[in-house]
Structure 1
Amino acid sequence: MEAPIGVIDSGVGGLTVAKEIMRLLPNEKIYYIGDTARCPYGPRPRHEVRNFTWQMAKALERKGIKLLVIACNTATAVALHSLQKYFSVPVIGVVNPGARAAIKNTKRHEVAVLATRGTVESGAYEEAIASLSSSTHVVPLACPTFVPLVESGEYKSSVARGIVHEGLKPLRDESFDTVILGCTHYPILQHYIEEVVGEHVTVLSSAEETAKDVQEILAQRGELAIGTPQHKFFATGSVPIFKDIAEDWLKLEQTEVARIKLTSSD
Structure 2
Amino acid sequence: MTGSPIGVFDSGLGGLTVAREILDQLPQESVLYLGDTARTPYGPRPIAQVRRYALECLDRLVDHGVKALVIACNSASAAVLADARERYDVPVVEVIRPAVRRSMAVTRSGRIGVISTQATHQSRAYLDSFVAAPPGVQVWSQPCPRFVELVEEGVTSGPEVIETARAYLAPLQEQQIDTLILGCTHYPLLTSALQYVLGEEVTLVSSAAATAADLFRVLTDGGLLAGPDHRPEHQWLTTGDPQGFTFLARRFLGPEVEQVHRAFVGRAEERV
Same-fold call, TM cutoff 0.5: yes
Question: Scaled by the length of structure 1, what TM-score is found?
Answer: 0.94
Find the aligned partners of 1:264 and 1:108 in 2 and give their Cα distance.
49
**Is the contact between residue 35 and residue 236 of structure 1 (CA under 8 Å) also seen in structure 2?**
yes
Q: Deviations over 1:130-150 (max 9, x none)?
A: 223343111100001011111
Aligned-pair Cα RMSD in Å: 1.7
Q: Which stretches of structure 1, 4 residues or longer, exceed 4 Å deviation after superposition?
A: none
Find the aligned partners of 2:220 and 2:11 in 1 and give their Cα distance.
28
How far apart are 1:157 and its partner, in Å? 6.1
**Is the contact between residue 20 and residue 253 of structure 2 (CA under 8 Å) also seen in structure 1?**
yes
Aligned length: 266
Which of 225, 231, 236 is residue 233 of structure 1 equivalent to? 236
Distance 1:107 1:208, change over 3 A: same
| Pairs within 5 Å for 1:128-167 | 128-156=129-157, 159-167=160-168
Q: 1:188 is matched with which residue? A: 189
| Counterpart amino acid of residue 51 in structure 1 | R
Question: Scaled by the length of structure 2, what TM-score is found?
Answer: 0.92
Q: Which moved more, 1:77-86 or 1:167-176?
A: 167-176
Find the aligned partners of 2:111 and 2:256 in 1 and give their Cα distance.
41
| Counterpart amino acid of residue 226 in structure 2 | A
Distance 1:241 1:174, change over 3 A: farther
Q: 2:212 is matched with which residue? A: 211
**Is the contact between residue 30 and residue 231 of structure 1 (CA under 8 Å) also seen in structure 2?**
yes
Secondary structure of 1:200 counterpart: coil
| Counterpart amino acid of residue 112 in structure 1 | G
Find the aligned partners of 1:198 and 1:74 in 2 and give their Cα distance.
27
| Counterpart amino acid of residue 249 in structure 1 | F
Find the aligned partners of 1:9 and 1:223 in 2 and give their Cα distance.
22
**Is the contact between residue 153 and residue 241 of structure 1 (CA under 8 Å) also seen in structure 2?**
no
Distance 1:254 1:137, change over 3 A: closer
How far apart are 1:158 and its partner, in Å? 5.8
Find the aligned partners of 2:91 and 2:217 in 1 and give their Cα distance.
12
Q: Which moved more, 1:76-85 or 1:36-45?
A: 36-45
Q: Which moved more, 1:99-108 or 1:232-241?
A: 232-241
Find the aligned partners of 1:145 and 1:219 in 2 and give their Cα distance.
37
Find the aligned partners of 1:72 and 1:153 in 2 and give their Cα distance.
19
Q: Percent identity?
A: 39
1:83 paired with 2:69, answer no
Q: 1:243 is matched with which residue? A: 246
- Uncovered stretches (5+) of structure 2, i.e. residues with no partner: none
| Counterpart amino acid of residue 143 in structure 1 | C
